[in-house]
Chains A and B, each alone.
Chain A
């Protein structure tokens, strides 16, 4: 099992460019999540998908859109990148069990917006 995979690993964008971050999991989990990690800020939830066909906003959704393509895949799109979106992005998945579930994280995408 590969677990949670993310592509690309690194990306540099210019302000105003768009891009899609891809995430896939092979653990048959129902829930998937996108976080951003900034120095001294911990991880902040951008969007999550509790199950296939549903998506909800997290703590910092502005400037992002998501698509739950199927049970395995959950993509994050930046329509018009801004320097404030320079960050490390992590995808995670879990099998919800009333709050006791462990989230499994991908290796991250390091994004720089110039």
Chain B
């Protein structure tokens, strides 16, 4: 069974500081990895995803993530955050359903990023 671990439930930072949100996954097969963002009182939207190829993936709003197969990690980074980046961030892995052809997305428990002035 696959799992996704987000190591920090809350990350407070000051505006214009760099930030890294950590995500580790457990899987013995190739995976597709995603970061979704949820702004207050809204649904989730895709920030970026890793499918194959370059291990550095760029997403919206200046975010990027690096896939590290040996460490089974997919950490999200931004060099300089804004107040508007305050949101909850979810790491997710998409794996084929056991015995079937469908894929299921498994989410981590989320990291609340709070950007303070």
A residues with CB within 8 A of B: 4, 33, 40-45, 48, 50, 56, 58, 90, 92, 96, 98-108
Contacts and interface: CB of A to CB of B under 8 A. Distances in A.
Contacts of A56: 102
19 contacts: A4-B43, A40-B9, A40-B109, A41-B109, A42-B109, A56-B102, A96-B103, A99-B103, A100-B49, A100-B51, A100-B94, A101-B103, A102-B49, A103-B46, A103-B105, A105-B36, A105-B43, A107-B43, A108-B42
Contact of A90 (B43, B102, B103, B110): B43
Interface string B75-111: 0000000000000001000111000001111011110
A108 B90 CA distance: 16
B46 to A, nearest CB: 5
Nearest to A6: B43
A64 to B, nearest CB: 17
Contacts of B46: 102-103
